[in-house]
Amino acid sequence: MDSVELLAVGPESSAVPVSFEIDDREGAALRMKAPGGDWRSFSGSNLFTCLLSARTDLEKEGLLLCCQGARPDVFPSGMQQQMDNGRFATVLSRLAGEGEAVDIFDAADPSQVTSVEGQRVAVYRFFGLPLSGAGTDV
């Protein structure tokens, strides 16, 4: 089990530390704790889907998580989701061979991150998919 400390930013650039416990030994599970709060658990088909759930939870409190997995230009391929349980994702690029893999739990600058919906829209646009009628899953 890995432990990670990240920041989440809120209105007026206020930042709060958020603790994560990452468990990918059997399936995928993530525990998250913000200051003064209880541990919240998320499970899913892979770590990226767990992170999406945790981010959605934080967004209900007006917070954006500052990690590589919250960037609008980062998304795991199907193979990444299967091979490393969604722990790594690709920086989307139109240039052949330019898409580097990043750990979704590595820190990112607040200026680089977006909401779950903002990421979904960016990924759909990158791949030229229609936004109307699309589900809310990234």
3-state per-residue secondary structure call for 68-104: HHHCCCEECCHHHHHHCCCCEEEECCCCCCCCCEEEC
pTM value is: 0.90
* Res 134: pLDDT: 53
133 in a structural domain = no
Task: Band the pLDDT of 133: cuts 50, 70, 90.
Answer: low
Specify the number of domains making up the chain.
Answer: 1
95 in a structural domain = yes
Mean pLDDT of 91-114: 90
Question: Are the CB atoms for 89 and 49 separated by under 8 Å?
Answer: no
Residue 82: domain span: 2-126
Alpha helices in the chain (DSSP H): 47-59, 78-83, 116-126
* Res 12: pLDDT: 81
85 in a structural domain = yes
C-alpha torsion angle, residues 33, 40, 32, 59 (rounded to 10): -90
Q: Which residue has the higher pLDDT, 14 or 121?
A: 121
56 in a structural domain = yes
SS3 assignment, position 130: coil
* Res 35: pLDDT: 86
Using the CB atoms, write b or e for 97-119: b if 16+ within 10 Å.
Answer: eebebbbbbeebeeeebbbbeeb
For residue 117, give both structure tokens. Answer: 């919906």
pLDDT digits (tens, 9 = 90+) for 35-48: 889 999 999 999 99
Q: Which residue has the higher pLDDT, 79 or 56?
A: 56
71 in a structural domain = yes
Give percent of the chain above pLDDT 70: 93
* Res 24: pLDDT: 86
131 in a structural domain = no
